[in-house]
Amino acid sequence: MRTTRKTLIAPAKRVIIKIGSTVISTAEGLNRQRIEELVEDICAVRELGYEVIIVSSGSVAAGKKDLGIVGRPKTIPLKQAAAAIGQSRVIRCYRSAFRHRGGNVAQILLTRDDLSNRRRYLNARNTLMTLLEYDVVPIINENDTVVVDEIRFGDNDNLSAMVTPLAEANLLVILSDVDGLYDSDPRNNPDARLIHEVERIDDNIKQMAGISSNELGTGGMYTKIRAAQRATMNGVGTAIINGTKPGNLQRFFAGEDIGTYFIPNIAPMAAKKQWIAFTKKPRGKLFLDGGAVNAIVNHGSSLLPSGIKGVDGGFDRGDAVRLCDIDGNEIAKGVTNYSLAEVLKIMGKSSNQIVDILGYKYSDAVIHRDDLVLSSSDDNELTS
d(CA 315, CA 305): 16
d(CA 195, CA 188): 17
**217 is an interface residue for ligand GLU by CB under 6 A:** yes
DSSP 281: P
**21 is an interface residue for ligand GLU by CB under 6 A:** yes
Selected range binding ligand GLU among 202-210, 213-221, 236-244, 357-365, rule: CB under 6 A: 213-221
**60 is an interface residue for ligand GLU by CB under 6 A:** yes
Instruction: Assess contact for 90 and 82: CB atoms under 8 A.
Output: no
What character string, x for contact with ligand GLU (CB under 6 A) and - otherwise, covers 125-164? ----------------xx-x----------xx--------
Q: Which residues pair with 173 in a beta bridge?
A: 17, 239
Selected range binding ligand GLU among 1-9, 37-45, 51-59, 281-289, rule: CB under 6 A: 51-59
Helical (H) or strand (E) element with 113: helix 112-116
**340 is an interface residue for ligand GLU by CB under 6 A:** no
* The one among 219, 243, 264, 307 contacting ligand GLU by CB under 6 A: 219
In the complex, minimum distance from the CB of residue 218 to ligand GLU, in angstroms, rounded to a whole number: 3
In the complex, minimum distance from the CB of residue 223 to ligand GLU, in angstroms, rounded to a whole number: 7
Q: How would you classify the pairing of strands 14-19 and 51-56?
A: parallel
**114 is an interface residue for ligand GLU by CB under 6 A:** no
Instruction: Assess contact for 205 and 271: CB atoms under 8 A.
Output: no
Using CA atoms of 45, 51, 57, 59 in order, give the dihedral in degrees to the nearest 10.
100
**25 is an interface residue for ligand GLU by CB under 6 A:** no
In the complex, minimum distance from the CB of residue 90 to ligand GLU, in angstroms, rounded to a whole number: 7
**Nearest alpha carbon to residue 310 among 320, 298, 301, 323:** 323
Residues contributing to the site for ligand GLU (CB under 6 A): 20-21, 57-61, 83, 141-142, 144, 155-156, 217-219
